[in-house]
Structure formats: structure tokens, C-alpha cells
Amino acid sequence: MPGIILFEALIYACLATKNMLSQYFDLAGYSSVQVGFLMAVLPIVSLVSSPFWFKLGSKIGERRIYYVVSIATAFLIWPVFLAGDFTTNLLFMLVFSFFFSGIVPIGDSLIMSRIKLTGGRFDRIRLCGTVGFAVTSFCLSVVLGSSFVWLFVATSLVVSLSAMIIGLKGDGAGPSRGPSKKKKADGTLFEYSVMTAGMFLGITLNSFHNSFIPLLTRERGMDVSTVGVIFAITAISEIPFLLYADRLISRIGNLAVLEIGMGVIGVRMILISFTTSVVSLYLAETLHGLTYILMYYSLFDYIHFRLPEEHLTSAQSVFWVVRSGLTFIAGSIGGGFLIERLSVTIAFRYFGVAGMAAAGIVFFIGLLKRIDSRVKYKEKTGG
């Protein structure tokens, strides 16, 4: 179990380094549209690479696949640092992204397979991922003021360490159900589809935020370290939810948890657009703990413990295509063009309003579903 905990911390430390790439590109002098395209390369590539890695992993073992993608990432991040122009960097990002995009999906799949076989709670293990993300973000906020080379050193280091921990022993292939949770597999493809659409709309806002918060802080004259502190704050803010995630889902349901996340992220984006100081920005960012992690975790839990087993593999592939692909494409590229036409502040505000509207639509659909369920229950019981 200690190895799994450290492994989870390291794979989410990788995400922390990836998020800081947008600040590196911004300070390198690229325009907001160029930054949007560079940050969108990873999600675009993941549309193809995620299904590819999962399919290959089912044949030769997910541990072996993880070893390949992590070691390749450790080397392929450096050409991105050495590239001198936008076109060259775009090409290097394409190659780097093909391997990097497999780290978190395959890593989480390995952990979930272990949990189902041996028992355990994913919320507590995922909490370690949040801690790894927070610690890495904070450390980077301290050292990046001297040189951004530390961003690339950190990326190589954490992926290499994760490969050493997971090793090549065991196959880790194939999802399987085990004794870790006792939930009735009563989920439906309709509810799964609604939740997937909701996650797409909500996490698109988070993707926009992560791509362009460096631009917002730079335009407001804030220190370079502010971005790293923000990512550390957002990670730490997830801890309270992860301590009670399973209980909350059991009490109010997966869809309701996702609806809360969608609504709060809209409010958070609007508040960020009105902040005038570093302190007020930090306070607004603490709302992150009620946004991304609720949407991600509620759907991830629904797929693994509510959907019938025959839908597990395809649902998991779609989950990662949407979460790591489509949301970042819409948030990075769409956000870049919106900033060019308006401003970064107005773009944050517009995304927030759109997010709240989307949350209202999903809430209405969920309300109709709950009413329908109560009617059917009364008819069944004769009440």
C-alpha cells in the first residue's frame, strides 16, 4: 500500500508540472492564441493516444505500458525546453504529448485494479495524489523565479521515480471488480451520458483557468510565484472533499455531487474576474475544492461502481477522452480566441456565466430524473 500511495502522489505531481507549462510559454513571449494551441496539443493527441494505450495495455499489460510512457516522457520533455520558435515547439509538444497523455489514465487504472483486487478506498488514495500535486506546485513556485529549467527537471524526475516504483512486475491488465465497495450496479447509460456531458462543460472551465491564469496574473502585475501558489492552494482545497467523498456520494448520489461542482466552478470563475489583489485571488481559488474534484470523482466512481460491468472498458475510455481531451481543447483553444477578441478578465467572466447556465441545465435534467424515480417507486410500492 505505501508504494501505491507514493505512486499516486507522483503521477499527480506530473500534472502539476504540466499545468506550469502554460506559464513557461506565456513568459517565453507566445501570444494567448499560441499558448492556447500549445496547451491544446496534449488533449488533442489524447483523443487518439488514450484509447491506443488502453487497448495496447489490455494485450501486453498496463504496467509495461506505464513504464514505456513514463520513461519516454522523461526524455521527450527536454526538446520542448530547447525549442526556439512556436512551430518547432508545436512539433515537439506533439511527440511529448503522445506519451505523457498515458501517464495519469494508465496510472489511475493500475491503482483502481489493485483496489478492486485487494480492497481499499480510492478517495483516500486519490487524496495522496492531491498532496503530491500541491507539494510539487508549491516547490515549483519557489524555484521557478530563478529559472524555468527546474520545471523540466521536475517533470523528468517525478515520471522516472514513478516508473521505478511501478516496475515491470505483474501485468495490471484489464479492469476487474472486487470487494473494495459494495454498491449495486444499477447505473444507466442515460445518466452516465448526462454526467459525462456535465463533466465536459464543467471541466472545460477548469481547463481554461489552468491555461490562462498565468496570463491573468501577469497582466495584473503579480509575481511569477503566484501561479505556483495558486495551484498549490487549489490542490490543498480538494482535501476536505476527498476525506468524505464516498460518504457524500452514498448520501446524495453521484449526479448531485457533479451538479454542485458545475455550479461552484461558474461562481469561482466570475469571482476570479473581479479580484483586485493577490489575497482576494487566493481566496477565490479556495473554491476549487468544490469544483473539479467533485466532477471528476463523481463520474469516475459512477463508472467503476455503478455501471454494469460490460460497459466498464468503453466508459473508462470515453471518460479519459473527454476529461483529458475535449475539455482542454475547448478550454485552451476556445479560451485563447476569446481572450484575443475581448480580454482575459472578460473571458473569465463569460466562461463563469456559461458554466452556471450549464449547471442549471444539468440540474434541471437531474431534477426530472429524481421526480421520475420517486413516481416509479411510489407506483411500485403502491404508495
* Assigned domain for 224 exists: yes
- What mean pLDDT is predicted for residues 300-306? 88
pLDDT confidence of residue 124: 82
Alpha helices in the chain (DSSP H): 2-19, 21-27, 32-60, 62-82, 86-100, 103-118, 122-143, 149-166, 189-219, 225-236, 239-252, 254-274, 278-285, 292-305, 312-321, 327-329, 335-341, 344-381
Q: Is the pLDDT at 225 greater than 90, yes or no?
A: no
Residue 378: Cβ within 10 Å count:
10
C-alpha dihedral over 291, 293, 144, 89, to 10 degrees? -90
- Residue 187 gets the label, from left (phi > 0), alpha (psi -120 to 50) or beta, of beta
pLDDT confidence of residue 171: 43
* CB neighbour class for 185 (10 Å; exposed up to 12, middle 13-18, buried from 19): middle
**Interatomic CA distance for residues 179 and 183, integer angstroms:** 10
Q: Is the pLDDT at 177 greater than 50, yes or no?
A: no
Q: Is the pLDDT at 39 greater than 60, yes or no?
A: yes
Q: What is the CATH number of the domain that holds 67?
A: 1.20.1250.20
- 88-92, 108-112, 274-278, 361-365: the lowest-pLDDT one: 108-112
C-alpha cell at 204: 472545460
pLDDT confidence of residue 278: 95
- Rounded to two decimals, the pTM is 0.77
pLDDT confidence of residue 5: 86
54: domain range?
A: 2-171+184-381
Report the domain count for the chain: 1
pLDDT confidence of residue 136: 92
* Assigned domain for 137 exists: yes
- 168-172, 312-316, 336-340: the lowest-pLDDT one: 168-172
- 70-74, 118-122, 329-333: the lowest-pLDDT one: 118-122
- What mean pLDDT is predicted for residues 74-90? 92
